[in-house]
Amino acid sequence: MWNLLVVEDESIVRVGLRYMVNWESLGLNWKAEASNGEEALSILASQQIHIVLTDIRMPGMDGLVLAKQIKQQYAGVQVIFLSSYDDFAYAKEALRLGAVDYLHKPTMDEDEIREVLGKAVKLLEEQKPPSRQQLSGDDKNEYLLSMLDTYTFPSPPFASELETDEFKMGCWLTIIRKREDAIAETADSEHLRFVSLLYLIDELVAKDWGGFVFHRHYREVIWIAPLMAKASGNKQPEKSKYLEGLRQKVLELLNAAVVYSHSSCYAHITDLPKAYLEALLRLPVKEQSDNLIVRMAKEWVDRRLLEEDMTLSKVAADIHVSQGYLSRVFQKEVGENFSDYVIRNKLEYAQKKLRETNRKVYEIATEVGYANAHYFSKLFKEKFGVTPIEYRNQ
């Protein structure tokens, strides 16, 4: 379901619209209402909105100013305008700003509303990222991993799957790791043991609870779970007891000793970066130390990603560890060195800006810290196989 926000200063018009159309039959959820542009922006900041149906003329912030703000801050949101007889010039400006269409308030009927909303839904479907069924193997794992960091969080997430009834009530996250004091193994046998652990947990939670199971560089299993277990019947299992039972099954079936921690419940899937950090901090101290240091380094990068002068020595000094130690644990935990991680995140941020804005390539290059646009384009092509212009035109 796509979420609809209606912005109209006349309450009678809002009421009329609400009951004029069977919104659910269009795949829409009448999510929220606002009486002015400021109120609408507040709702957009706190709720997942896909379509905004807004009056052009309103007291305070009018619909055109609101649309400009939406396009700058929420590029994927589709905007439709409501206009009156004397708003024709405004309506033309609205279309120039990238609105889907406009509806003429005095004459609009159910069929016209359905047609215009259908256009918006079609545009949303076209820009929607691949669903989990279309992603497999490493691609799916990388996509899910991107949901654990604020800067790499996809926009929108798996809308067709993560905004289902299963996740509507909220979500929580679990980290599962092999105990560090477990018997040492060769690299090959350790990898196979981890893959077996991953598959077993995926199979067990898919049957009992639901959600998504993936891994972080074959070092930890991560499970994103809906609030309610699907096989719970009338009695909802307690999370800690369920996880302890899971640990016991892993020990019995694979003879593998693991530790785990879980987050509290969060209202929306966009809170996953917070849930991951909370679960990380709850791991036993021996298991979290290196991971936590790397997490602190990654958060330092996230906060300063758009700065040009970003070095390993700076982050090491700020989080109070030696540069050599940070370099070793970063490579071990993340699977790439610090500079490669910074470059990758800058390029992925640039990729998002190319996709969601009309800004020039040199402007995006400058924003992510590359004064030389040619060098930026060279790095971009090495990473993604196409130039920034080719990527935008795909």
Confidence of residue 179 (pLDDT cuts 50, 70, 90): confident
Residue at a domain's end among 283, 318, 338: 283
Instruction: For residue 273, give the CATH number of its domain.
Output: 3.30.70.270
Instruction: For residue 7, give the CATH number of its domain.
Output: 3.40.50.2300
Same-domain check for residues 275 and 297: no
Q: What is the mean pLDDT of residues 101-127?
A: 84
Q: Is the pLDDT of residue 202 over 50?
A: yes
Same-domain check for residues 156 and 291: no
Q: What is the mean pLDDT of residues 197-203?
A: 89
Q: What is the dihedral of CA 86, 87, 93, 96, to 10 degrees?
A: -110
The CB-based long-range contact list for 87-90 (8 Å cut-off, 24+ gap) reads 87/56, 87/57, 90/56, 90/57, 90/63, 90/64
Residue at a domain's end among 235, 252, 283: 283
The pLDDT value given to residue 286: 58
Q: Which residue has the tokens 């096989």?
A: 231
Domain containing residue 173: 132-283
Q: Is the pLDDT of residue 5 over 70?
A: yes
Same-domain check for residues 238 and 304: no
Could you tell me which of 366, 367, 370, 361 has the C-alpha nearest to residue 390? Answer: 361
- Residue 262 is classified by DSSP as E
Residue at a domain's end among 127, 159, 191: 127
pLDDT digits (tens, 9 = 90+) for 282-327: 877 655 556 677 778 887 887 788 776 678 888 888 877 788 888 8
Same-domain check for residues 272 and 240: yes
Same-domain check for residues 161 and 210: yes
Same-domain check for residues 321 and 241: no
Q: Residue 160 and residue 330: Cα distance in Å, rounded?
A: 34
Same-domain check for residues 201 and 256: yes
The pLDDT value given to residue 88: 57
Q: Which residue has the tokens 């969601």?
A: 356
Q: What is the mean pLDDT of residues 75-84?
A: 83
Same-domain check for residues 212 and 263: yes
Same-domain check for residues 154 and 250: yes
Same-domain check for residues 76 and 56: yes
Q: 107: helix, coil or strand?
A: coil
Work out the mean pLDDT of the chain and round it to a whole number.
Answer: 81
Q: Does the model's pTM come out above 0.75?
A: no
Same-domain check for residues 186 and 250: yes
Of 390 and 335, the one with more pLDDT = 390
Q: Which of 52-66, 156-170, 181-195, 255-269 has the highest mean pLDDT?
A: 255-269
Of 133 and 266, the one with more pLDDT = 266
Confidence of residue 65 (pLDDT cuts 50, 70, 90): confident
Domain count, the chain: 3
The pLDDT value given to residue 167: 79
Same-domain check for residues 138 and 279: yes
